[in-house]
Amino acid sequence: MSEYALLLPILIPLIGVVLLLLGARSLAVQRAGGVLFSSLTFAASLYLLFAVDQADYLVMQMGAWEAPFGISLVADRFSAVMVAVSSFMGAAVGIYALSEIDEARLKKFFFPLYLVLIFGVNGAFLTGDLFNLYVWFEVMLIASFVLMSMGGEKGELEGGLKYVCLNLLSSVMFLAGAGIIYGKTGTLNMADIGQQLMLAENADWALSSSMLLLVSFGLKAGMFPFFFWLPASYHTPPSAVSAVFAGLLTKVGVYALFRSYTLIFMPLFPEVQNILLWLAILTMVTGVLGAASHFDMRRILSFHIVSQIGYMVLGLAFMTPLALAAAIFYLVHHIIVKTNLFLVSGVVIRMKGSCDLAKVGGLCNSAPWLAALFFIPAFSLGGIPPLSGFWAKFALVKSGVEIHAWWAVTFALLVGVLTLYSMTKIWAEAFWKKQPEDVDTTPAKPVGPLVFMVAPIVVLSISTVVIGFFGEPLFEFSERAAAQLLDPQSYISAVLPQPAEVSP
Amino acid sequence: MKYFILGHAGRILFPALIILSLIVLYRGHNLPGGGFIGGLMAATAYILVGLGSTMQAAKAKLRVDPVTLLAVGLAIAIISGLPGMLGGDPFLTGEWLPTFYLPLLGAVHLGTPLIFDVGVYLVVIGFTLHTTFFLSELAESDTEEGTD
């Protein structure tokens, strides 16, 4: 029963939560369990990826209630690769957290919440039901609210408050959109909604809910003009937390956007294409300008998340096979690189007590290995060949040129240059220049050995290099995934038992 | 004992509330009720005891740590999904025992959905009481600081 492969990436973290709550008193159990279960989830996600690549679609109707009435779990190649790469980050950051998360946070159930976060993210990628997507979003968000404000310091609470308010707003809009679509179609199964819209003569009645969902997913993804919560909150929690947020949470929003416009609202896509295109361009530009204006490493990196989201949405807006493949490749590359950069900033904080570029310097001399480890993800993000970011940008730009989207291509290239500029700024300030002498840089007492922090960074950097040099299999996989996305009929027939009757 | 009448009323109401919560839990599969609302009722019983005397007394009455209760509840809910898989069905498929008749209760349906509800029941009790106990500790430490 390869369908059970669908269940494991959701069930393993949940079992982990149970066991860690039972062993709440022992910090050793918390640490060991957190790493063990996030690694097991990663192994399960690889198995899922393998199984989906064999079978095209894996579908499981929970409780044996047939779709569209029951809850479907569905994996196609796109969702399987998202689960795999996010569980990879989950495992890497789980190890990193061993040396960064202090006792107070461990006692406040850091690792159980961390596993709940992975549970929610994987669930969101695997569900085939719009309302359940909402539920998974909430699971993920509630865990992230607590993870973000766990320390209880003023900055954390301030960032957390902005984050909570805006995400609740987005949830309300999501719920309203899902409610309207349910009122109109009588179903919440994504495949069923997609089928009904495709068969309808005029699908404009779904425009209102599609717009509500666009705003809601855009808010979660950090798109222009809804991104302002992101740079306001991501720089406050410990680096392990902001790394996993940076890598995963906004990407769930991007995933939901892809799912909306390649499946649920497919027939409406021509009407929103221009909106998406310009939102993507504005997201890229504002994000990178924000990054250029800041002088704190983690704030710069947060703004770069925004600008990179623009590239992915741009791939969706182009909607050609090559563009979608490029966007999927971009997502994978970006999750790895961005998580890695936040992890590096955590090491900088550990060594220098701050990641404000005005206070930090001289890392090139004192820690040349860290400079090398920063160099790889930073310049991959900037799109320097032969690192992974170059191929992602190259494919995206090529797909834009093919459909003569000159404005978008121009902005994509320009933003690439500016990205490189702010990466160079971090490089020059934190690594190249001499340590400023008049500032106090006594780092806090470290929690655990440095090796647990460096090992994940090394592994992620190696994956970036490997994707850069031997990216062919991943790109072929992305092309297969994109082909699947462009053929919603196959998704629908995989999920629904037989062609459903159409409501007038 | 802080409130004489409330304390005694709580002592009498406690078993009644627990029994009521179990009835609500049991009828929940086909009628209004279920694990969530039943769990809230059971947690209310403990909170009532705590308000009447001290939260320490309610804690002592519960005997187990609420977090453990939460974990056990989650585990039970997960386990209730497994029997269906033994027969090759998807996770969480309902498996039912044959219906039998008991005096007072009438027709009895027992199956994995009830086990799932028991899990929810325990999770809700665990979560509600953990939060309440924690908040009451915070409030106590605040008032102590105030009197110093």
Domain boundary among A224, A242, A264: A264
Mean pLDDT along residues B132-140: 87
* A340 and A194 both lie in a single domain: no
Q: Are residues B70 and B122 in contact, defined by beta-carbon separation less than 8 angstroms?
A: yes
Residue B36: pLDDT over 80: yes
Rounded to the nearest angstrom, the minimum Cα separation between B38 and chain A is 21
Cα A151 to Cα A54, A106, A111: the distances in Å are 45, 11, 14
Task: Look at residue B71 and tell me whether its pLDDT is greater than 80.
Answer: yes
CB A267 within 8 A of CB A228: no
Instruction: Kindly state whether residues A259 and A343 are assigned to the same domain.
Output: no
What 3-state class would DSSP assign to A122? helix
Number of other CB atoms surrounding residue A435 within 10 Å: 14
Per-residue pLDDT band at B148 (split at 50, 70, 90): very low
For residue A64, list chain B residues with Cβ-Cβ distance below 8 A: 84, 89-90, 93-94
Beta pairing, strands B100-102 & B106-108:
antiparallel
Domain membership of residue A282 as a residue range: 268-441+449-486
A282 and A207, same structural domain? no
Distance from CA of A415 to the nearest CA of B (A): 47
Same domain, A232 and A244: yes
User: How many domains in chain A?
Assistant: 2
Q: Please, which residues bridge with residue A74 across strands?
A: A59
Residues in A touching B29 (Cβ below 8 Å): none
Query: Using H for helix, E for strand and C for coil, what is the string for A381-415?
Result: HHCCCCCHHHHHHHHHHHHHHHCCCHHHHHHHHHH
Q: Is residue A379 part of a domain?
A: yes
Residue A179 CB contacts under 8 Å (≥ 6 apart), including other chains: none
Instruction: Indicate yes or no: CB of A18 within 8 angstroms of CB of B75.
Output: yes
Residues in B closer than 8 angstroms to A19, CB to CB, are: 71
What ipTM is given for this predicted complex? 0.86
Q: Does B13 touch chain A (CB under 8 A)?
A: no
Neighbours of A202 (CB within 10 A): 7
Mutate to test the interface with B, among A4, A18, A58, A108 (most CBs of B within 10 A): A18
A499 located within any domain: no
Contact B71 A14 (CB under 8 A): no
- Which of the listed residues A264, A297, A323 is the one where a domain comes to its end? A264
pTM of the model: 0.91
For residue B145, the model assigns a pLDDT of: 58
For residues A336 and A388, state if they share a domain.
yes
Does some domain include residue A139? yes
Domain range list for chain B: 4-147
Examine residue A495 and state whether it is found in any structural domain, yes or no.
no
Same domain, A187 and A300: no
Of A188-197, B85-94, B118-127, the range with the lowest mean pLDDT is B85-94
A44 Cβ under 8 Å from any chain B Cβ: no
CA distance B130 to chain A (A): 12
Do A228 and A249 lie in one domain? The reply is yes
Q: What is the DSSP string of A279-339?
A: HHHHHHHHHHHHHHH--BHHHHHHHHHHHHHHHHHHHHHH-SHHHHHHHHHHHHHHHHHHH
pLDDT tens track, chain A, 504 positions: 577 888 899 999 999 999 999 988 888 888 999 999 999 999 999 999 999 988 889 988 887 777 778 888 999 999 999 999 999 999 999 999 988 888 888 888 899 999 999 999 999 999 989 999 999 999 999 999 899 888 878 888 888 888 888 889 999 999 999 999 999 888 889 998 988 888 888 878 888 889 999 999 999 888 888 888 888 888 888 888 989 988 888 899 999 999 999 998 888 888 888 899 999 999 999 999 988 888 888 888 889 899 999 999 999 999 999 999 999 999 999 999 999 999 998 888 888 877 788 788 778 888 888 888 888 898 888 888 888 888 888 999 999 999 888 888 999 899 988 888 888 888 888 888 877 776 666 777 777 788 888 899 999 999 999 988 888 899 999 999 999 999 988 898 888 876 545 554
Q: Does B7 touch chain A (CB under 8 A)?
A: no
In degrees, rounded to 5, the angle at the alpha carbon of residue A120 between the alpha carbons of residues A116 and A122 is 115
Picking from A264, A283, A313, the residue at the C-terminal end of a domain is: A264
Q: Do A116 and A171 have their domain in common?
A: yes
Q: Does A15 touch chain B (CB under 8 A)?
A: yes
Interacting residues of B54 by C-beta distance below 8 A, sequence separation 6+: B2
| Same structural domain, A238 and A343 | no
Distance from CA of B6 to the nearest CA of A (A): 33
Residue A1 at interface with chain B, using a CB cutoff of 8 Å: yes
Q: Tell me whether residues A63 and B84 touch, CB distance under 8 A.
A: yes
> What pLDDT is stored for residue A82 in this prediction?
94
In angstroms, the CA A437 to CA A359 distance is 9
- pLDDT, position A137: 93
Q: Which of residues 93-132 of B touch A (CB under 8 A)?
A: 93-94
